[in-house]
A = this chain, B = another copy of it.
Amino acid sequence: MILTGPQIARERENQRLVLEPFDPARVQPNSYDLALGPTLAYYTGEVLDTRQANAFAEVEIPDEGFVLEPDRIYLGSSVERLGSEHLVPIIRSRSAAARLGLFVHVTADLIDIGSIGQTTFQFHAVQPVRVHAGDCLAQVTFWRPRGRIVLYDGKYQNSRGPQPSQIHLDAVGAGR
């Protein structure tokens, strides 16, 4: 079951989920709006590879905003620190951002239960689109799980700012 907005606020009060900072005006009927943090990351190479380290650079969004170009993937992060040991967060776009052709994730919308931190967005712009730090582009929903819970215990715990892919490390280990 998907939590209603009032239930998100209530579970937060009961410390069953983390959402900081929290502004009651951003509670929606079934979600909570997330703001864009000040830093973007992008890869400096043109061809990426699942089995190589992919070099990247970071940029601070200037006051006049930053134009996301269609031929490049950008990583950003939420201002908010969020997660839960009891509920499963799923990220989606606010419809106002999506109607400008801005993807806020690239089919990786699920946050593992127990993973707490600033969420990494995967931005893809269909047409060039200028974004500004603090824009509410995304939202988070929360879902009730069924079954025994084993908390996330991975390398992105307590992440701050955008986190590039570590997929090349998979090939070293047991296939993931």
Q: Which residues of A contact B (CB under 8 A)?
A: 1-8, 10, 23, 25-26, 28-31, 33, 35, 43, 46-52, 54, 65, 67, 70-73, 75, 88, 92-110, 112-115, 120, 122, 124, 126-132, 134-137, 139, 141, 143-152, 156, 163-167, 170, 174-176
- B49–A65 contact, CB under 8 A? yes
Given A98-B122, A99-B165, also A148-B4 (CB < 8 A): yes
A142 to B: closest C-beta gap in Å: 9
Most chain B beta-carbon neighbours within 10 Å: one of A6, A25, A102, A113: A102
A120 to B: closest C-beta gap in Å: 7
Give the top 4 A-B pairs by smallest Cβ distance, nearest first: A7-B147, A73-B101, A98-B108, A99-B165
